[in-house]
């Protein structure tokens, strides 16, 4: 491929048509998201509500560069349908200066790692808000320009990758999973019930902390997202609370965030961790449902409502779950077979959610990986 290296200013032309803003008229302004995430199209507002800057008409199908966030990839391509929008002097808008250059190709290049690095280098400053890209510096950037047909092929290929990534996981997928999970756990709502205190026992073997020993404290994430395992630290780094050795294979409940699902189970891998008195730790002490089922129930809609009622307070930070109110909560006690079936089904739903999140992460990284692969062959 025959690639030329040219200055941006030799192939693109700054196009700005200054507007005389009418305070009573309505305008639709745009912004540019960082990391090649596209244009922001703001709701229309009156001229009086616009910021006190100069405004220009946005040229259709132009390249738009934020002069204060270009260093982190705030570059976008306007579409041919972006007519009647306005842009402040914080943005540079460019159209081809020569017919054989595609702004969409240039956009993809500037969004690649080499392109963003060049924009960052051209945006000097000691702080993020002062890292301004000037017109002169931008137009002095040297970029690789292959023949027009190759530019078009590259742009079409990368457009396809971006479109695939943006399609992502259907927006309704998490809602569908949550509804299905609720339907599964609701099978147990009508079963015989038993108070938590009747079959679970509070286990908190208090520690006498040693100044010469390091400890690894834990937290519990809300919404059933598991343990937080903090780095090991000495006594001086711990809060002024009582601590105990965390008991493996137990139900652990945050007494200040239980109302939003800060509940989890420990495993044999959690030996050696410590928890403060902000966490309740329970193990089976009699006949009752399994810890796995109890966790699933407490994270259900009905379970969270019960935890909320047992955690009174006027503000989130004051909504504390006491030991006695927690142990008085009654939970369904279905047959062992039903418990296993419910837990197994919910495990499958969680696994699907984890797969979707991983797929979303991979899709989000796909455009940048594709751009870097393409332009590494040109640079």
What is the residue extent of each domain of the chain?
4-130+138-167, 192-333
* Higher-confidence position of 73 and 379: 73
Give the per-residue pLDDT at 173: 82
Q: What is the pLDDT of residue 379?
A: 67
Least confident of 170-174, 225-229, 288-292: 170-174
Q: Which of 109-113, 129-133, 152-156, 351-355 has the lowest mean pLDDT?
A: 129-133
Q: Can you tell me the distance from the alpha carbon of 66 to that of 77, in angstroms, rounded to the nearest whole number?
A: 12
pLDDT higher than 80, residue 94: yes
Helix axes 103-111, 113-121, angle to 10 degrees: 80
What fold, for 4-130+138-167?
Adenine-n6-DNA-methyltransferase TaqI; Chain A, domain 2 (3.90.220)
Q: What is the C-alpha to C-alpha distance for residues 69 and 56, in angstroms, rounded to an integer?
A: 19
* Residue 168: predicted pLDDT: 76
Which backbone phi and psi does 127 adopt, to 5 degrees?
Answer: -140, 155
Q: Which of 304, 284, 289, 258 is nearest to 193 (CA)?
A: 289
For residue 170, the model assigns a pLDDT of 72
3-class state of residue 231 by DSSP: coil
Q: What pLDDT score does 125 carry?
A: 80
Please report the pLDDT score of residue 128 as a whole number. 64
Mean pLDDT throughout 287-311? Answer: 96
Distance CA 164, CA 366 (A): 9
pLDDT at res. 1 = 73
CA distances (Å), origin 295, targets 14, 120, 162, 163, 341: 60, 49, 40, 40, 14
Average pLDDT over residues 323-345: 97
Class of domain 192-333: alpha beta
Q: What is the pLDDT of residue 174?
A: 84
pLDDT digits (tens, 9 = 90+) for 211-236: 999 999 999 999 999 999 999 999 99
pLDDT, tens only, 30-41: 999 999 999 999
Strands (E), 199-278: 200-202, 216-220, 227-229, 243-245, 251-254, 263-265, 273-276
pLDDT at 25: 96
Domains 4-130+138-167 and 192-333 share a fold: yes
Task: Provide the pLDDT for residue 169.
Answer: 66
Q: Tell me: pLDDT of 199 over 80.
A: yes
Q: How far apart are CA 17 and CA 29, in angstroms?
A: 14
**Which contacts of 244-248 are long-range, i.e. CB under 8 A and separated by 24 or more positions?**
244/204, 244/205, 244/206, 244/207, 244/274, 244/275, 244/277, 244/281, 245/205, 245/207, 245/272, 245/273, 245/274, 246/218, 246/270, 246/273, 246/274, 246/275, 246/281, 247/203, 247/205, 247/281, 247/283
Sort strands 85-88 and 26-32 into parallel, antiparallel or unpaired. parallel
Confidence of residue 192 (pLDDT cuts 50, 70, 90): very high
Assign 95 a pLDDT band (cuts: 50, 70, 90). very high
SS3 of 90, please? coil
Higher pLDDT, 171 or 50: 50
Give yes or no for a contact between 281 and 246, defined as CB atoms under 8 angstroms apart.
yes
What is the pTM (predicted TM-score) of this model? 0.72
What is the rounded average pLDDT of the residues 158-176?
85
CA–CA dist 170, 176 (Å, integer): 10
């Amino acid at each position: 491929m025959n690639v030329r290296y040219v200055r941006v200013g030799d192939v693109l032309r700054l196009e700005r048509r200054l507007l005389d803003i009418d305070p009573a008229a309505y305008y639709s302004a745009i912004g540019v998201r960082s990391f090649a995430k596209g244009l922001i199209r703001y709701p229309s507002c009156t001229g009086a509500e616009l910021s006190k800057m100069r405004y220009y008409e946005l040229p259709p199908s132009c390249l738009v560069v934020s002069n204060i966030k270009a260093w982190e990839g705030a570059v976008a391509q306007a579409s041919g349908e972006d007519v009647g929008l306005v842009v402040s002097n914080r943005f540079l808008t460019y159209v081809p200066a020569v017919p054989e250059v595609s702004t969409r190709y240039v956009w993809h290049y500037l969004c690649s790692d080499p392109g963003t690095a060049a924009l960052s280098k051209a945006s000097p400053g000691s702080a993020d808000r002062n890292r301004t890209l000037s017109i002169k510096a931008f137009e002095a950037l040297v970029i690789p320009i292959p023949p027009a047909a190759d530019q078009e092929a590259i742009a079409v290929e990368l457009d396809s990758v971006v479109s695939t990534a943006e399609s992502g996981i259907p927006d309704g997928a998490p809602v569908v999973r949550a509804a299905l999970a609720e339907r599964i756990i609701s099978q147990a709502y009508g079963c015989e019930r038993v108070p938590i205190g009747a079959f679970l026992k509070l286990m908190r073997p208090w520690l006498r902390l040693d100044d010469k020993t390091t400890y690894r404290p834990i937290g519990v994430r809300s919404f059933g997202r598991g343990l937080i395992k903090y780095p090991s630290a000495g006594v001086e780094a711990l809060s002024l609370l009582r601590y105990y050795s965390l008991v493996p294979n137990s139900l652990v409940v945050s007494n200040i965030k239980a109302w939003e699902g800060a509940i989890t189970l420990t495993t044999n891998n959690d030996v050696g961790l410590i928890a403060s008195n902000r966490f309740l730790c329970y193990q089976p002490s009699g006949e009752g449902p399994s810890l796995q089922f109890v966790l699933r129930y407490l994270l259900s809609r009905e379970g969270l409502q019960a935890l909320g009622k047992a955690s009174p307070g006027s503000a989130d930070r004051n909504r504390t779950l006491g030991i006695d109110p927690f142990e008085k909560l009654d939970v369904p006690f279905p047959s062992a077979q039903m418990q296993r079936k419910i837990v197994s089904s919910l495990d499958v739903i969680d696994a699907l959610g984890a797969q979707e999140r991983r797929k979303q992460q991979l899709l989000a990284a796909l455009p940048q990986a594709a751009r870097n692969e393409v332009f590494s062959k040109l640079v």
